[in-house]
Structure 1
Amino acid sequence: MTLQNTSDAISSPQEAYILVVEDNVPNFVMIARLLAQMGVNHCEWKTSGWQVVQFAPTLPQVDLIIMDIDLPYEDGYQALRKIRSHPRLHETRVIALTATANQDEVNRAQAAGFDGFLSKPLDAERFPSQIRRILANESVWEWR
């Protein structure tokens, strides 16, 4: 199976294949509902950094990974390093998601190679726009 990685802009959320890595069930449910309201038809869920590293390469396509930083087994930074080293995933957009939202954490996420940053709790009003911008290859670094 060949994994498609679309580093190009995605024209609509309906076309996007999104992998959410979140160990908190209520947070994942909120993200999944917001994505569904946007029309996202392809959303997968994993609960640890280790799981995303094992699972992402098995997907036929991954356009965006929304990944919590504070994950069990391997945190988001450790998982990102492995994702970036995978030949079929190295250009996949990966967005950091964390409740530890401050300028130091944003700087750390940028230095680590994340493609964007969203803070928890998510703003349900802004989230659809943020995801559309990310899918359009725009930079989103929002933590306030």
Structure 2
Amino acid sequence: MSKSGPHFLYVEDDLMSRKVLEVLLIRVMGFTHVTIFDNSENFMDQLRLLPDVPGIFLLDIQMRPHDGYEVLEMLRNDPIYQNSIVIALTANVMANDVQQLQSVGFDGLIGKPIMKDIFPDLIEKILSGESVWYVP
């Protein structure tokens, strides 16, 4: 099954996490428009080099040199990306972490570890406009 769907951009510095999400989005779910950045260095410059605007940003929170909060701020301060869907992917899923993610403007959360049997349903909900705050 192959479906173009939105352009996903995943920013993650952990190799294993990148591989897991790549397999889930491309091989399992059949999306064909997936871009993965292996760090947040020169994030906006890298982003502007893409041929189109990603529809969904999936951001690791703990990465360098800019963490997910800083990347979110960059996106929200740019008129081109300020209304984009931005989902946090993190292992930090205590109640106060979820509240902080919500208060700074993330559109959702998928807690790590990514569960391969649940992840596709979460993405489908996000694509249908639902708010997803999933804590494993």
| TM-score clears 0.5 | yes
* Offset from partner CA, 1:83-114 (integer Å, 9 cap, x none): 11111100110000111111111100000100
Q: In structure 2, what is the equivalent of residue 29 of structure 1?
A: 19
Q: Does structure 2 retain, via aligned residues, the 8 Å contact 1:49–1:78?
A: no
- Gaps of at least 5 residues in structure 2 are none
Q: Counterparts of 1:91 and 1:133 in 2: how far apart (Å)? A: 18
* Offset from partner CA, 1:10-37 (integer Å, 9 cap, x none): xx95221000011001111000100011
TM (norm. structure 1) is 0.86
Confirm or deny that 1:85 pairs with 2:62: no
Confirm or deny that 1:47 pairs with 2:38: yes
TM (norm. structure 2) is 0.91
Q: What one-letter code is carried by the residue in structure 2 that aligns with 1:84?
A: R
- Gaps of at least 5 residues in structure 1 are 1-11
For these two proteins, the number of residue pairs brought into alignment is 133
User: Which of 19, 28, 32 pairs up with 2:9?
Assistant: 19
Instruction: Tell me the SS of whatever aligns to 1:61.
Output: coil
Q: What one-letter code is carried by the residue in structure 1 that aligns with 2:118?
A: R
Q: Does structure 2 retain, via aligned residues, the 8 Å contact 1:17–1:64?
A: yes
> Which of structures 1 and 2 has the larger relative contact order (alpha carbons within 8 angstroms, sep 6+)?
1
Confirm or deny that 1:58 pairs with 2:39: no
Q: What one-letter code is carried by the residue in structure 2 that aligns with 1:50?
A: E
Change (3 A) 1:34 1:51: farther
Q: Counterparts of 2:40 and 2:106 in 1: how far apart (Å)? A: 14
Change (3 A) 1:51 1:31: farther
Q: Identity of paired residues, percent?
A: 32
Change (3 A) 1:114 1:13: farther
Q: Counterparts of 2:101 and 2:62 in 1: how far apart (Å)? A: 12
